[in-house]
Structure 1
Amino acid sequence: MPAPSHSTFDVVVVGGGNAGLCAALSAHEAGARVILLEAASKEERGGNSRYSGAVFRAIHNGIDQVKTVLTPQALDEAKRCSMAPYTKELYHDDLASTSHGRNDPGLSEVLVNESWAAIEWMKSKGVMWETTVRKYYSEKLNGAVDLLPGGTVKAYKDGVGLIQNLFDAVEKTDIVVRYNAPVHVLLVAGDTVHGVRVRETDGYSDVHGSVILASGGFSANPAMKRQYLGEGWDLVPVRGTRHNTGTMLRRAIEAGARPVGHWGAAHASPQDINAPLVGDITKTPVIPRYSYTYGITVNVNGKRFFDEGEDEFSMTYAKTGKVIGDQPRSIGYQIFDQKTVHLLQPRYVTGDAIHADTIAELAKKLSISPASLEQTVNEFNAACPANVETFDAQHLDGLSTSSSSSLAVPKSNWALPLSSPPFVAYGVTCGITFTYGGIASDTRGRVVNNEGRLMPGLYCTGEIAGGVFYHNYPGGAGLTKGAVFGRIAGREAAAYAKARRECLR
């Protein structure tokens, strides 16, 4: 075997998704010579970010501040929108509640404090921002739209637009991008990282420099999903890239990086029952099914199995996929009637709606026992409040099922009886987006080893960086986390490379 070829840069970024691109741009901005190594081809570049809805969660003072980063077209759309402030306190509360208080306080503090600055910085790099009004809100919704304050902004054209904007910014610089360049292992001497080894068709090539790992988790690795997430997870459809195999996550741990976070959990959400087994850019972005709050969801036995109105969908969708996956055949059916079907998110138009004039007829079309589904609906309807005038499609309305009813599973908000036919159902299954387990890092993006010491020359950002999300997550916080710590890791890795050069003079 021939000896590996060598090249040297100040900063080596592994992974070309949102986090890696922000890291590369930040390192370049700090004066570093940067190379970005992407395992995918140019056509498949972008990691999980490319398949995302590209919503970013950031602190702000309300709609007027949000408007300062919007495109002209989005500004025009925002005329019919309002948005309450999203404060630091609210952000911290959302991180803590979804992670049951386990989220790392230092990392969370940086994420929250730097979230809006990251949005503005990304705009300066060419990212085009808009509101979520066309993504999450039906055109049939009457009157003004009060946008979820935590769904601050989204990238124009979703993940595809986000990745295109960031690569456009990279291509305006002298940052070197190598595609089809899967990193195989870290080049280490003790705890110190000197670069990476890239797997080639007929050998290896070594790239030296301080290293930023932005290579994702293991959402596309069936063996690791079965090992860490449990029975059946190897069969769950992958919402993102097929290149998220966890290779560098394993290699970093083998080199001494400390594993942290929730290795038994993942972002998993309701997807169309016909979801592709791996991310398909023509289908994946349009098949999420997040309007379950406006109806009920049953399994193949016709039974409800979770509180559809526990909270706003942005605070529950990332854990709802798992409870669907735990059902027989990993299937659920979302059922609506004519009081709410007009509220469904626009993406539902891509699904195969099943219509019926009676619950019994609907059950037959879904291959569910009519008696079982009728019993479920009758019991649910009986537990719904008689006065439904307080129903508020845009906010938690407290319209809940009776605590004195015999329901095994309550509905805490939006509890309207299914009583206005024709009824409409959509089949759903579980789709995995990203995994929560990762490696430890400090508030400056520096990787920490098993003994609690820094690993000189090694940084991380994005999904591979653990410690912030446990059990669940607030929608949009993942991309923001990648951008915030990508900026930080880029600056830090550039500074480390500069200091190292000066020492060698």
Structure 2
Amino acid sequence: MSDYDVIVVGSGNAALCAGLAAKERGATVLVIEKAPEDMAGGNSKYTAGAMRFAYDGKQDLLPLLQNPDDHRLPDTEFGAYTSEHFSKDLLGFNDGRPLSPEQQYLVAQSYPTMAWLASHDVRFEPIYSRQTFQKDGKHIFWGGLTLAARHEGVGLVESEMKALRALGGEIRFDCAAIDLIVEEGRVCGVVTENDAGQREDIRARAVVLACGGFEASKALREKYIGEDWGKAKVRGTPFNTGAGLEMAFKLGARAHGLYEGCHATPMDLHMPEYGNLDLPHDQRKNYRKICYFLGIMVNAEAERFVDEGKDFRNYTYAQFGRAIIEQPGHFAWQIFDSKINHLLYEEYHFADAHYVEAATLDALIEKLDGVEDKAKLRRTIDGYNAAVDDAVPFDPTVRDGKGTKGLTLPKSNWAQKIDKGPFRAYPVTGGITFTYGGLQVSDRGGVVHEEGHEIPGLFACGELVGGVFFNGYPGGSGLTSGAVFGRRAGYGAAAQ
């Protein structure tokens, strides 16, 4: 006798979508979460809530909006973001690999999944503050990323929890899954443990693992990604320590995807070791530092190490977060002048943002701790300034082609001289959000055994699905992937 039809392990976006899908198909559903209620929601709660999906124009977006009567909409140009464009963006991070089956499914199901969420009253709003520039009286969206949940990741999790409970789904907190119950080769429940060490067996017809990757485990980061990654700041929850992977591997699950890959982002060097949910939702994101495209980044050896203007930051921040953690000392400085101060995102003006400021470049350089060769840094900046092409106008709404000439490492777009004081520099490191290596899952979300068959009764979604991302990803794809594969796993589990 089963206590539930489906148990979902985890309470983030993917887990809640799995639970919602299973409830939609008539299953009795229990979502269990290791964290206490105030820290539940997995990594999803720490995100900006943006979701990337294919759409053909404004008419596709209006049904998804929290407020379709927003007065700005008539003066907004969303453009289109086709399936072909989404596929091309993913291919840009595949290091020559073709689209994986998981990526193809992500693209194909991205808009239907958004519409499905909206049908459960999980709705979105345009990202005017971070994804638009004003031009000729219009709000121009760029980079193919247009919508986010109201109140960001916290709002997304709260909306999905509300939708799940409205259908009769149950959620238990302080309820960690420590093992899977298996009888006659079939997963039929979970052994749980609360913070007081009390254990309970909860039985089900199917179990969905949706409890994240291994980014919060220093040992597993060093094992799979590299020694440098022991120094990474964990952008999100401290609870994603690879427990789902370990339970699945114990049953012979097949590893899948790029285990040395992860989603990273430039973060304030002096942020806490983990994300801080004690901050209000509108401040939590402010540890990120992703306006590097408006200035330059230099390492401890006084050298630039990436093309800061290679592409819109949606397409580079994951790669550049990784590049920073792999620099000497695991840090870098982002340097700006006052010309672009009004374009810096709010995270740079946040009360707890760490930076140094000076009226002159020489005075600023003297304040850059960790950079020993100050004269070399001055030469690096002077060389960059001399290479800037002043003939091309600066336009942050497009890849403006305003680059440098003659540098071994160019800046391809948005290159402006750093010459107007006062000057600021922000110390950054690499922050890890989630890991790419996971499990192989079937076309209905079932976990695949090393021998090629599904493990009966076991499903997976979210970060536990391998093969979705490789050498980075276009921003906003992570939450969409969680929703897409969560929905699929929930339907698959309910069919049991």
- Which TM-score band applies after superposition, normalised by the shorter structure? over 0.9
Partner of 1:166: 160
1:143 positional shift: 4.1
- Any residues of structure 2 matched to 1:104-253 within 5 Å, and which? 105-136=100-131, 143-189=137-183, 191-200=185-194, 201-253=197-249
Query: 2:367 aligned to 365, 368, 378, which one?
Result: 365
Alpha-carbon separation, structure 2, partners of 1:482 and 1:46: 12
Partner of 1:386: 390
Of 11-20 and 182-191, the range deviating more from structure 2: 182-191
CA contact (8 A) 2:90 2:99 kept: no
Partner of 1:397: 400
Alpha-carbon separation, structure 2, partners of 1:204 and 1:169: 27
CA contact (8 A) 1:103 1:470 kept: no
Partner of 2:3: 8
Query: CA offsets, 1:370-396, max 9 Å, x none?
Result: 31221001111122113132x210111
- 1:296 matches 2:296: yes
- 1:276 matches 2:279: no
CA contact (8 A) 1:19 1:485 kept: yes
1:124 positional shift: 2.1
1:66 positional shift: 1.7
CA contact (8 A) 1:305 1:409 kept: yes
SS of residue paired to 1:174 = coil
RMSD of aligned residue pairs (Cα, Å)? 1.9
SS of residue paired to 2:267 = strand
Where in structure 1 are there 5+ consecutive unaligned residues?
Answer: 1-5, 497-505
Query: CA offsets, 1:68-96, max 9 Å, x none?
Result: 32122783343443122101111111111
Where in structure 2 are there 5+ consecutive unaligned residues?
Answer: none
1:142 positional shift: 7.8
CA contact (8 A) 2:18 2:488 kept: yes
SS of residue paired to 1:76 = coil
1:355 positional shift: 2.2
Of 466-475 and 278-287, the range deviating more from structure 2: 278-287
1:255 positional shift: 0.7
1:435 positional shift: 0.4
CA contact (8 A) 1:270 1:431 kept: yes
CA contact (8 A) 1:21 1:170 kept: yes
- 1:375 matches 2:379: yes
Alpha-carbon separation, structure 2, partners of 1:190 and 1:408: 62
One-letter amino acid of the counterpart of residue 488, structure 1: R
CA contact (8 A) 1:141 1:343 kept: no
Q: TM-score under structure 1 normalisation?
A: 0.92
CA contact (8 A) 2:132 2:142 kept: no
Query: CA offsets, 1:291-312, max 9 Å, x none?
Result: 1111101113321111101111
Query: CA offsets, 1:245-301, max 9 Å, x none?
Result: 101111101211100111111101001122110111216422211111111011133
Of 144-153 and 72-81, the range deviating more from structure 2: 72-81
- Any residues of structure 2 matched to 1:392-431 within 5 Å, and which? 392-402=395-405, 405=406, 407-431=407-431
Change (3 A) 1:348 1:464: same
Of 27-36 and 450-459, the range deviating more from structure 2: 450-459
Alpha-carbon separation, structure 1, partners of 2:135 and 2:250: 53
Alpha-carbon separation, structure 2, partners of 1:387 and 1:150: 28
Change (3 A) 1:137 1:359: farther
Of 227-236 and 467-476, the range deviating more from structure 2: 227-236
Alpha-carbon separation, structure 2, partners of 1:284 and 1:264: 27
Query: 1:53 aligned to 24, 27, 48, which one?
Result: 48
Change (3 A) 1:490 1:421: same
Query: 1:356 aligned to 355, 358, 364, which one?
Result: 358
Alpha-carbon separation, structure 1, partners of 2:430 and 2:84: 31
CA contact (8 A) 2:388 2:403 kept: yes
Identity %: 38
Query: CA offsets, 1:438-473, max 9 Å, x none?
Result: 000123212111122122211111001111101111
Query: 1:97 aligned to 88, 92, 97, which one?
Result: 92
SS of residue paired to 2:61 = helix
CA contact (8 A) 1:447 1:454 kept: yes
Alpha-carbon separation, structure 2, partners of 1:74 and 1:184: 48
CA contact (8 A) 1:198 1:207 kept: no
One-letter amino acid of the counterpart of residue 46, structure 2: Y
Change (3 A) 1:203 1:72: closer
Change (3 A) 1:127 1:263: same
Alpha-carbon separation, structure 2, partners of 1:302 and 1:342: 26
Alpha-carbon separation, structure 1, partners of 2:99 and 2:250: 23
Alpha-carbon separation, structure 1, partners of 2:313 and 2:322: 15
CA contact (8 A) 1:295 1:335 kept: yes
Query: 1:66 aligned to 51, 61, 64, which one?
Result: 61
CA contact (8 A) 1:84 1:149 kept: no
Partner of 2:263: 267
Alpha-carbon separation, structure 2, partners of 1:190 and 1:160: 40
CA contact (8 A) 1:74 1:131 kept: no
CA contact (8 A) 2:293 2:308 kept: yes
Alpha-carbon separation, structure 1, partners of 2:325 and 2:462: 25
Alpha-carbon separation, structure 2, partners of 1:490 and 1:450: 23
Alpha-carbon separation, structure 2, partners of 1:462 and 1:191: 24
CA contact (8 A) 2:30 2:171 kept: yes
Alpha-carbon separation, structure 1, partners of 2:337 and 2:138: 23
Query: CA offsets, 1:136-157, max 9 Å, x none?
Result: 457x988433212521310000
CA contact (8 A) 1:83 1:149 kept: no
Pairs aligned (count): 486
Alpha-carbon separation, structure 2, partners of 1:284 and 1:485: 26
CA contact (8 A) 1:335 1:426 kept: yes
Of 202-211 and 44-53, the range deviating more from structure 2: 202-211
Alpha-carbon separation, structure 2, partners of 1:141 and 1:333: 31
One-letter amino acid of the counterpart of residue 189, structure 2: G
Alpha-carbon separation, structure 2, partners of 1:152 and 1:121: 18
Alpha-carbon separation, structure 2, partners of 1:11 and 1:308: 46
CA contact (8 A) 1:14 1:20 kept: yes
Partner of 1:3: none
Alpha-carbon separation, structure 1, partners of 2:416 and 2:329: 28
1:223 positional shift: 1.0
One-letter amino acid of the counterpart of residue 87, structure 1: T
Alpha-carbon separation, structure 2, partners of 1:309 and 1:62: 27
Of 467-476 and 117-126, the range deviating more from structure 2: 117-126
CA contact (8 A) 1:186 1:197 kept: yes
